[in-house]
Structure 1
């Protein structure tokens, strides 16, 4: 059957729901059509086919969307021409179908409502096609396994309200998917169920569907409404955490609220506290690096995320050496998976430690959390994990001839590149050749420097003066060595890495923007890096490219060699602003905002790095995660870079350094900002070309605010 362009677009559109360790990706009709769509739990696809048909036809789509709070998927459909079923045929557009769906407690709930707007009775043939392949997420991504487990599906029987699929994996775990209906089907053919609904004019008929790993009561309107109310309350509770951003710009506010809603969607409540899962569909699981950066992006507004991330990562810190897992005592986790392939060790990602930067970022976050909140009691509980993490950093640096923090994967199954740009071709020399390992990335040295500085500060606060002095000295030595070995004098920029033979990869990439974020470069060099990041070789008008135009391996359609990652742009902006170039941060915020407008107010994981063309939108990257945690957190880091707000819980004060407002926005309000037990509202307003700030306390005490304008 040929499809019109709108129908084709709907077929390839994707709509996402998530709850806990379950998520669902469907097309614009709400159907699951294999490919990368499906209902997943614990890295396993529990539902691979779920199609709604009216007889033999696909309904016509009127509209489809996920609600602003990310709780409900709603699709409005209508019938195409229906064949006669004992009466006259029904022309197109007489039956309205509302498909309403949500996830709650690892279970999908759906309501299908059918309304006859015609003048005559009709019988509506509703068919639902089902399938469950129980494929591991890595199979869905394209990996081919030499062997799989056994499908043990139970056929649907007449008079039953359920269809059950079962699968015994090679790990001997029995996985099940149970699809339950509020009505019995009139006809069953294999995995196709047909329901015949007589509809008189003006009548609505409902069908409730539930999908989960276990059978439950027969679906009903009551169970559906109860679960829907609970799902909305939970999401509303997550979305209310932390301070809120408001402005005089409705579209800007919509961007901020969408980003906040996406973070609420991606955040799961674990025993250790809230934890933002990395992204849907490929990375809906705890990642170390992604969560730490997301926590850094949102720390000024919501320290609770940072606390949850630190608690979880400390609880899962490596205790032993394993080349397969790339683990060593003290190292912080990169990724964890719960699927069959991880359980069978077909890949190392059950609990994998192959990220060189996660450990120093963990220590950085702990230091930043202590400064933001002043909660030294929590830091005291983390202290053994922080010392172990810093011990790992020191051991690796001591083994490197230059004192750098480097990486080399333990086995071929691990990641070959272990920084945030972890694709195989992301680190290279100026001629495009790949360097020998171990590799010492420039931004990782910045993270290590910041980690030593954080440990020095925290040890001083704990009265451990000798350790504080030792870590401060290590930070200073590392800083001097980085300045000596990575700086390219002729290009006024830092190289991307030093290889295993001590040679510098003389490539201009966005990585030194992270070095600025950590505060390592001297001011003159920082100014040179900041200026170049804003040139057309890097800044496309939509954001900062990961690799400068003209470098070897540059490709604006690649994953890491010329694409734009919003979190990377935000870190660069924060680094540039740290050195006083706040107007550049305003420009980068505007670029990100205008990009988001073209992506339905939601920044994707990445998009292509083509230069901006007047009147044309940014170019999407086909398989980018959407939503993605550190992309959703990027707007908040960009805004902080513009406003220059720092909240110091140790001193009990707020400092604001030369604030700038976003272009086109004349007022920004930060509502319910926490400082210890106090709450405060901050208002920034453009008056006569300057930005004025007003402080409103929410209690008996207004904390001191230092303003530099």
Structure 2
């Protein structure tokens, strides 16, 4: 019998001359979603793993284009995303990234689910139910937990178990809570799943209560953050480096800090919650939430707009002074619809200027800002998910010219990375002929929201809107970059129906036609 010690395993093997002898070693992982029989062969285990990954991948509609390189980018992104999705007791959840963030993150899961929502709503369902189950119900300063707040990060390692870091179940994220409501609203738009809304509604109300109460630390109508202890994250937006929020002179902003994009998320969250309340039969609550959303809009425009920048301020500091810095945060605001059209147009022009758009993607802050550094984590680098969210916002305001440039930029970058795998981030140096993007040495690859970015870009450029309640798929002002002649979408499921669609260049226009239709589903094209 084998002799197993702390660091060795000794086997006694009888070898017959000129005869093969196979030794099979099976290593199991406690807590894995896969159970491995004691004598399972490697080939069988690999087949089982591939079957599970393929099953996850098949939840997303098929996508093919006229470009083999673009197809490779799509296929790599699909495979990576399927690999990172873990089946939890509440449904599928995308772990954030390998190797540093291979666990549940609230913000990352929400934005990843949002990116693929049009083609795979089941991921959003799993994310919403998982985050509802882990929503904070008590105050715990060591974990920055407050009732109604949505999880930032969940860890099970030794340091978390021993309390050496606060990230066992940590809530230091200012944007995950409004984003949770936003995703719930868009999930309902996509699916018409009223049963899920009923299940989620108490958690949505708790999240709204946090936004109105603990989330608004000084009662001015904006959501702010400040860590409760010095062990928590100093910065609690998606740019969570310690030096990511600063003034034009480079001075770090003192808290509590109100980030621009968080107010935009809150605006969208309130409108979505209003529609959900109305769908559940509470019209009075719906009207109230619509009203508070518009009140937030008016306050936001008055306090955050910086005319000399052509953009919203990065943030307001604890003294309510704007951080007059041009950043990608302002472009992310567009996905909510909070900007009036004239200001959205100026933001688009600013974003596509050479100081923000490197040729590969959007920089997190403008070149020329005092703290700009193209090799920094958050102060001048390029994050694919950030650029993709910007594209979605620009599409909302009909700036398809800008969307196409962003698609071409990230497509060009993907061709330069191994396996066509976009990493978590890369450096923000200008694009130069015959030079690839400069890698960020410690970036996760794959990273869930980076892998999902190509699907968000496809949605933005084709203007895809899926209305599950009406069983309708709309293509709003579809555009294709010069590198693509056509895009074919297959097995797009809406309710119990399915549709295959071809988007094809026709001169200066893009035509949309039905290749196959099964069940009751309508196709609408808006020019």
Q: Which interval holds the TM-score relative to the shorter structure?
A: over 0.9
5 Å-filtered alignment, 1:233-252, equals: 233-252=51-70
Query: Which deviates further from its counterpart, 561-570 or 584-593?
Result: 584-593
Q: Which residue of structure 2 aligns with residue 667 of structure 1?
A: 486
**Structure 1 residues 374-416: Cα deviation after superposition (integer angstroms, max 9, x where no partner):** 0011110111111111110111465434310000001000000
Q: Which residue of structure 2 aligns with residue 682 of structure 1?
A: 501
Match of 2:148 among 313, 316, 330: 330
- Is 1:375 the counterpart of 2:193? The answer is yes
Q: Structure 2 vs 1, CA of residues 541 and 257 (structure 1 numbering), >3 Å: closer, same or farther?
A: same
Q: SS at the partner of 1:275?
A: strand
Q: Which residue of structure 2 aligns with residue 210 of structure 1?
A: 26
Q: SS at the partner of 2:326?
A: coil
Normalised to the residue count of structure 2, the TM-score between the two structures is 0.95
5 Å-filtered alignment, 1:578-657, equals: 578-600=396-418, 601-657=420-476
**Structure 1 residues 63-113: Cα deviation after superposition (integer angstroms, max 9, x where no partner):** xxxxxxxxxxxxxxxxxxxxxxxxxxxxxxxxxxxxxxxxxxxxxxxxxxx
Q: SS at the partner of 1:705?
A: strand
Q: Following TM superposition, by how much is the alpha carbon of 1:518 offset from its aligned partner in structure 2, in angstroms?
A: 1.0
- Is 1:297 the counterpart of 2:139? The answer is no
Q: What are structure 2's unaligned runs of at least 5 residues?
A: none
Q: Following TM superposition, by how much is the alpha carbon of 1:687 offset from its aligned partner in structure 2, in angstroms?
A: 1.7
Q: Structure 2 vs 1, CA of residues 409 and 700 (structure 1 numbering), >3 Å: closer, same or farther?
A: closer
Structure 2 distance, partners of 1:700, 1:550, is 55
5 Å-filtered alignment, 1:272-283, equals: 272-283=90-101
**Structure 1 residues 622-659: Cα deviation after superposition (integer angstroms, max 9, x where no partner):** 00001000000000001111000100112221211110
User: Is the contact made by 2:191 and 2:494 (CA closer than 8 Å) also made in structure 1?
Assistant: yes
Structure 1 distance, partners of 2:474, 2:9, is 56
Q: Which residue of structure 1 aligns with residue 238 of structure 2?
A: 420
Q: SS at the partner of 2:83?
A: helix
Q: Structure 2 vs 1, CA of residues 397 and 285 (structure 1 numbering), >3 Å: closer, same or farther?
A: closer
Q: Structure 2 vs 1, CA of residues 244 and 180 (structure 1 numbering), >3 Å: closer, same or farther?
A: farther
Structure 1 distance, partners of 2:123, 2:9, is 36
Q: Following TM superposition, by how much is the alpha carbon of 1:205 offset from its aligned partner in structure 2, in angstroms?
A: 7.4
- Is 1:558 the counterpart of 2:395? The answer is no
Q: Following TM superposition, by how much is the alpha carbon of 1:688 offset from its aligned partner in structure 2, in angstroms?
A: 2.4
Normalised to the residue count of structure 1, the TM-score between the two structures is 0.71
Structure 2 distance, partners of 1:204, 1:689, is 66
User: Is the contact made by 1:583 and 1:642 (CA closer than 8 Å) also made in structure 2?
Assistant: no
Q: Which residue of structure 2 aligns with residue 288 of structure 1?
A: 106
Structure 1 distance, partners of 2:310, 2:103, is 40
Q: SS at the partner of 2:132?
A: helix
User: Is the contact made by 1:402 and 1:481 (CA closer than 8 Å) also made in structure 2?
Assistant: no
**Structure 1 residues 282-320: Cα deviation after superposition (integer angstroms, max 9, x where no partner):** 100000000000000000000010000001000111010
Structure 2 distance, partners of 1:230, 1:340, is 30
- Is 1:366 the counterpart of 2:184? The answer is yes
Q: SS at the partner of 1:630?
A: helix
**Structure 1 residues 226-246: Cα deviation after superposition (integer angstroms, max 9, x where no partner):** 222211211111111121111
Q: Structure 2 vs 1, CA of residues 390 and 180 (structure 1 numbering), >3 Å: closer, same or farther?
A: farther
Q: Which residue of structure 2 aligns with residue 29 of structure 1?
A: none
Q: Which residue of structure 1 aligns with residue 511 of structure 2?
A: 692
- Is 1:357 the counterpart of 2:175? The answer is yes
* More helix, by proportion: 2
Q: Which residue of structure 2 aligns with residue 311 of structure 1?
A: 129
**Structure 1 residues 634-686: Cα deviation after superposition (integer angstroms, max 9, x where no partner):** 00001111000100112221211110123221110110111111101111011
Q: What are structure 1's unaligned runs of at least 5 residues?
A: 1-158, 166-178, 187-195
User: Is the contact made by 1:243 and 1:301 (CA closer than 8 Å) also made in structure 2?
Assistant: yes
User: Is the contact made by 1:161 and 1:218 (CA closer than 8 Å) also made in structure 2?
Assistant: no
Q: Which residue of structure 2 aligns with residue 150 of structure 1?
A: none
Structure 1 distance, partners of 2:4, 2:390, is 53
Q: Which residue of structure 2 aligns with residue 704 of structure 1?
A: 522
Q: Following TM superposition, by how much is the alpha carbon of 1:613 offset from its aligned partner in structure 2, in angstroms?
A: 1.1
Structure 2 distance, partners of 1:218, 1:296, is 37
- Is 1:504 the counterpart of 2:322? The answer is yes
User: Is the contact made by 2:146 and 2:214 (CA closer than 8 Å) also made in structure 1?
Assistant: no
Structure 1 vs Structure 2 CA RMSD:
2.1
Q: Which residue of structure 1 aligns with residue 278 of structure 2?
A: 460
Q: SS at the partner of 1:613?
A: coil
Q: Following TM superposition, by how much is the alpha carbon of 1:281 offset from its aligned partner in structure 2, in angstroms?
A: 0.6
Q: SS at the partner of 2:404?
A: helix
5 Å-filtered alignment, 1:30-69, equals: none
Q: Name which structure has the greater RCO, CA cutoff 8 Å, separation 6+.
A: 2
- Is 1:486 the counterpart of 2:304? The answer is yes
Structure 1 distance, partners of 2:348, 2:36, is 61
Structure 2 distance, partners of 1:217, 1:442, is 48
**Structure 1 residues 469-507: Cα deviation after superposition (integer angstroms, max 9, x where no partner):** 111111001111110011111221111000111111111
Q: How many residues align?
A: 522
User: Is the contact made by 1:256 and 1:635 (CA closer than 8 Å) also made in structure 2?
Assistant: yes
**Structure 1 residues 533-569: Cα deviation after superposition (integer angstroms, max 9, x where no partner):** 1111011111000010000110000000000000000
- Is 1:541 the counterpart of 2:359? The answer is yes
Match of 2:212 among 394, 407, 422: 394
5 Å-filtered alignment, 1:176-215, equals: 184=12, 208-212=24-28
* More strand, by proportion: 1
Q: SS at the partner of 1:504?
A: coil
Structure 2 distance, partners of 1:377, 1:625, is 36
User: Is the contact made by 1:602 and 1:627 (CA closer than 8 Å) also made in structure 2?
Assistant: yes
